[in-house]
Each structure stands twice: as C-alpha cells, then as structure tokens.
Amino acid sequence: MSSTLTLVQALDEATQDLGRAGIGEARREARLLAAHVLEVTPEAVFREPGIRLRKEQAVSFRACVVERAARRPMAQILGRREFRSLSFRVTGETLDPRPDSETLIEAVLNTVPDRAAPLRILDLGTGTGCLLLALLHEFPDARGVGVDVSVDTLEVARDNAKALGLAGRSDFCAGDWGNGLGETFHVIISNPPYIPSAGIAALEPEVTRYEPRLALDGGQDGLACYRALLADIPRLLEPSGGLFVEVGIDQAESVGWLCVSHGLTVTGTARDLAGITRCVMARRRNGSKGTDRKQLLHRKKTWNAPPARLVCC
Ligand SMILES: C[S@@+](CC[C@H](N)C(=O)[O-])C[C@H]1O[C@@H](n2cnc3c(N)ncnc32)[C@H](O)[C@@H]1O
C-alpha cells in the first residue's frame, strides 16, 4: 500500500529533522538513509523523486531518521562501513572502522614490498577485523590471527572474514592482548583504545552514546593499553618482523618511548591524510631487553629514519 508521502517530501522532512539534531550534512545523510531503505544506490535516490513511498518504506525510513536524529552512528544504522573499499559489518559492539586507521595499512604496504610474502599477521584488538582482513586482502599468501577481549566483536569479525572470502586464512580468538599466544608473527598490527578516560564524555554523541567504551577507553593518560600490549611484543614478533600501532593525536612520542622501554626499536612513524601522526612502527631490538639508553639519547635520529624493509622468511 502506498503512503501519502513522496520520496522528495520524505527527504525534505528528514533533512529538517537531522539538521535540528545538529547533523552537519543533513541532506546527504537523509539520502543515504533513503537509499538504505529503498535498497538502491544513493545516486539512484534522486532519479524518481516524485514516487510515492510504500507504507512500510515510509515507516522504516522514519524509524531510521529518528535513530540518526538521536545521533546513532550512520554505520550502525546501515549495519555496514567501507574500509579500504571493502565492506564490513558493524554493530553496537564494534568500533566503527575509521579512515585514519587506513594509515596503518599503508604503513605495512610501504614496509613489506613483496605482496606474495607468506606473512603471519597478528591483529590485537581486532573489532570488526578490518585491519587484519584488509591486510589479508592485500597479501594473498598471508594468514592471520585477530584477538579481542570482546566475544561479540569476534562473531562480527568472523562474519566479515566469511563475506570477504578470507575465512580460510584468518582465525579470531578471545584473549587479553597477546597473553597466551604461542607463535610468532611477521607483522603485528594494533589500534588499541587510546582516549584518556576523562576525555570520552567530550566526544561527539555518536561516540559517547553508541560506541563501546571498551574500544575507546585508554585509561587515565590514554596509554594504558599500549603498556599492557607491548609487554608481549618482543616475544611474539619475528626477529625481522614489524609492529604497527595506531596512536591518538600527540601520542606518538609517548608511545615511541613505551616501545623503547619494552625492548623495541622505533623505526618510523606515518601520518594520516590530515597530517597527524597516526602510526608508530617498531621492531625487536637485537639481543637486548629493557631500555636502550643509546636509543633514548638519539631518538630523533632513529625515529626519523625511513621505515626498514621487512623480509619474510
Ligand atoms: C579502538 S578499537 C579497534 C578495533 C579495530 N581494530 C579497528 O581498528 O577498527 C579497540 C579494540 O580493542 C579491544 N580490546 C580492548 N581491550 C582489550 C584487551 N585487553 N585485549 C584484547 N582486545 C581488547 C576492544 O574490544 C576493541 O575491539
């Protein structure tokens, strides 16, 4: 049964509601929601603006608009998010993959020149699995393990692996960072929670109301998860392997120091598209454990060096 509402009227109403709720690109978002409900591409929404919505379409469009006006993230309403041109299922239990995190993938690609390398990859705090699965997509002979303390995210990551045809090369397991893992890896990648606890309340409503605190909260100074996960890295990293961790604004130097104090050498950093240092790269320091005083003294020289090439053996 048709409703009395045409598509363009529904879009106009939605744009007003979303605008009133403080959403910046209200028209674009209304169009995305309409495309979702009508099961067409966003471009197709404007082809027939005069069509009348069927009753169930009008009801479900309104429900989406109400959710979005309450600042539920678009990715959670659509149930999906693109990351490196791959489509990932997203739920209320997973962090919505961010474009900034693509910096880590670029950093690995720049460091490992051989796409046919049979890498073993570890992703600590895997969430949707976006980092591990994007890398497995780039390295067709690689295999990987994704670890998360949240069992709900692991289900989503496994679904994503299946949907992307990568289930045969990926394992997802519950764990507390690298605790309990026995094998070693050529690439260890991680985007841990790094927002200082007191700063979470000041983030946008989409994040504070709807994203899992477990994926955000980095403790008092934002660095608690780096301290916890770095402890196992020298044991889990191949001698020629590389660690790639995402960092928040202004955290690169502190995280670099933490790497050094956990027996690693910082090999470089990488910036995101906004010019913010987003990724710290490190490798095992040969033969020594604990703080390398020489490296602390000459850190600038070391950190500004181009990333060392990683060879898979
Ligand atoms: C910032 S999110 C990153 C998710 C995903 N890798 C991404 O880049 O979109 C951090 C993830 O770490 C997980 N996490 C938090 N504490 C953990 C722990 N102790 N051990 C393993 N994973 C943990 C959270 O559940 C969350 O999925």
The domains of the chain, with CATH numbers, are: 2-70 (no CATH), 81-303 (3.40.50.150)
**pLDDT of res. 305:** 44
Asked if 37 and 64 count as a contact pair (C-beta separation under 8 A), the reply is: yes
Nearest CA to ligand 1 atom 9: 97
Nearest CA to ligand 1 atom 17: 149
Sites in the chain below the pLDDT cut of 70: 1-3, 287-313
**Closest by CA position to 247, among listed 236, 257, 232, 261:** 257
**pLDDT of res. 40:** 92
- Shortest-distance atom of ligand 1 to CA 83: 9
Q: How far is the CA of 82 from the centre of ligand 1 (A)?
A: 18
**pLDDT of res. 138:** 98
Q: How far is the CA of 58 from the centre of ligand 1 (A)?
A: 37
- Shortest-distance atom of ligand 1 to CA 126: 6
Q: Which positions ≥6 away from 133 have C-beta within 8 Å?
A: 86, 88, 157, 160, 161, 164, 166, 170
Q: How far is the CA of 66 from the centre of ligand 1 (A)?
A: 29
Measured distance CA(166)–CA(140) in Å, rounded: 9
The residues lining ligand 1, judged by C-beta closer than 6 Å to any ligand atom, are 95, 97, 101, 125-128, 130-131, 147-150, 153, 176-177, 191-193, 214-215
**pLDDT of res. 42:** 87
Q: How far is the CA of 17 from the centre of ligand 1 (A)?
A: 34
Nearest CA to ligand 1 atom 4: 127
**pLDDT of res. 47:** 82
- Shortest-distance atom of ligand 1 to CA 101: 8
Tokens 């910046």 map to which residue? 24
pLDDT digits (tens, 9 = 90+) for 234-273: 999 999 999 999 999 999 999 999 999 999 999 999 999 9
Asked if 20 and 36 count as a contact pair (C-beta separation under 8 A), the reply is: no
**pLDDT of res. 199:** 97
Query: 242 forms bridges with which residues in the sheet?
Result: 187
Q: How far is the CA of 193 from the centre of ligand 1 (A)?
A: 6
Asked if 108 and 242 count as a contact pair (C-beta separation under 8 A), the reply is: yes
Nearest CA to ligand 1 atom 18: 176
- Shortest-distance atom of ligand 1 to CA 153: 27
Measured distance CA(124)–CA(187) in Å, rounded: 11
Q: How far is the CA of 139 from the centre of ligand 1 (A)?
A: 23
Query: 246 forms bridges with which residues in the sheet?
Result: 279
**pLDDT of res. 290:** 37
**pLDDT of res. 2:** 65
Measured distance CA(116)–CA(289) in Å, rounded: 32
